[in-house]
Amino acid sequence: MEGIVAVVGRPNVGKSTLFNRLVGKRMSIVDDTPGVTRDRIYAKAEWLGKEFMLIDTGGIEPDSKDVILSQMRIQAQLAIEKADVIILVTDITTGVTASDADVAAMLQKSGKPVVLCVNKCDSVGDVPPEFYEFYNLGLGEPIAVSSAHGHGTGDLLDAVFENMPEESAANDYPEDAIKVAVIGKPNAGKSSLINKIAGEDRMIVSDIAGTTRDAVDTVITRNGQQYVFIDTAGIRRKSKVNEQIEKYSVLRAYMAVDRADVCVIMIDANEGYTEQDSKVAGYAHEQGKASVIAINKWDSIEKDGKTMQEFTKKLEVDFSFMSYAPFVFISALTGQRIDKLFELIKYTSEQNARRISTGTLNDMLAYATARVQPPSDKGKRLKIYYMTQASSKPPTFVIFCNDKELFHYSYQRYIENQIRESFGLDGTPIKIVIRERGE
């Protein structure tokens, strides 16, 4: 991931249309009503083989005369604080407005790289005379773009990457370092865990939920293995994300998952499993990450002989969608079972990166299909020819058959269970891709 690019501008200049064009799919709601983008929407985008995170800034709801400018100030301030490069979108049809000039001045003072986009230049060829007044904003050479038709977007992205800062050496870790994202609800004890592991107060630890604003890397060497712990701001429900800046914190948390090899999903033992925990875990599962579920604050729970067993049974039901993930009951405060957590992180990372030979897979497949016959429908039986592993992280298997429609989900689950029974692959999701012969 190369960096974060924020798209800012006043209402109705075409920010969302530009966002959709750069991402390559319709994600933002596009409407002629000013302020229709009510939330920040972000997505991965790619240009010439380089990936970056693009943010469509929103939240501008003009209720009074002054609110547009004040909301634009907040929006620009957030972009200044968190983005690596800022695209300021203006509109050729309205020319330079007072709002454009005000935000341009703010962006200049920030010292952040800004690329000036003059949108709605829909005719191909020479730009209209009005284009040249945008030089007055003092942000360098404007780039004429038509987000509706796609003209000029290549030049715009070239300019973005010319201004992208170099990756810092601090993020240049050895290849064998295991990158670990510690994710979960605010105040679950993520920072306390990293402080305990690091043996120093690396993070600000506070009882106020949402203290950690940004993802911070902590490098630990343990038993000869290097780990990079990425502490993240807590991921909370969108309805609870009142502060504008927290939306960027949530973005950083998701980006941390993207960077990680293993996700440690922190559950507060006092609160138990919540819907929000399922969202956090669901994101890690969708991204194909190895995962460990750490139940923190276990020292504060009153126990009898069956407490852990009962808690585990309940969590197995709650996390049934990722039944492969192991549980560990820890205390970030006392250091209880931190060694066990490290063992699981290393083990699940190895399983996530594991490769299995085609011959071994097909021996397992022959046994599995002999044990439970493939399904048939209207006299036509599913024939499975062979399977192979296409990639790792997560382990992805391609199965070739005579008819995809006959390969029911239940039989896919059976094959997945057979793969796990034969090869382990604990702690990692498995992806199965069904292909018909000839595809």
Residue 55: what residue type? I
Q: How high is the pLDDT of residue 118? A: 93
Paired residues of 291 in beta bridges: 263
Which residues, at least 6 apart from 113, have a Cβ–Cβ distance to it below 8 Å?
84, 85, 86, 163, 164, 165
Which residues, at least 6 apart from 258, have a Cβ–Cβ distance to it below 8 Å?
1, 44, 287
> What would the pLDDT profile of 95-153 be if each residue is shown by its tens digit?
998 888 887 887 788 788 999 999 888 876 777 888 999 999 988 899 999 888 888 89
- Whether the Cβ atoms of residue 141 and residue 169 lie closer than 8 Å to each other: no
Which residues, at least 6 apart from 22, have a Cβ–Cβ distance to it below 8 Å?
45, 54, 153, 156, 157
Cα separation, 208 vs 190, whole angstroms: 13
Q: Inter-axis angle of helices 153-162 and 15-23, to 10 degrees?
A: 80
Measured in whole angstroms, the distance separating CA 77 from the mean position of its chain's CA atoms is 23
Q: How high is the pLDDT of residue 150? A: 83
> What would the pLDDT profile of 300-313 be if each residue is shown by its tens digit?
888 777 888 888 88
Better pLDDT: 335 or 358: 358
**Residue 203 banded pLDDT, cuts 50, 70, 90:** very low
Which residues, at least 6 apart from 246, have a Cβ–Cβ distance to it below 8 Å?
210, 233, 236
Q: Strand, coil or helix: what is 435?
A: strand
Q: What percent of the chain has pLDDT over 70?
A: 78
Q: Where are the alpha helices (DSSP H) in 147-243?
A: 153-162, 190-198
Cα separation, 212 vs 234, whole angstroms: 8
Rounded to two decimals, the pTM is 0.63
Q: How high is the pLDDT of residue 290? A: 93
Count of C-beta atoms within a 10 Å radius of residue 21: 20
Better pLDDT: 370 or 168: 370
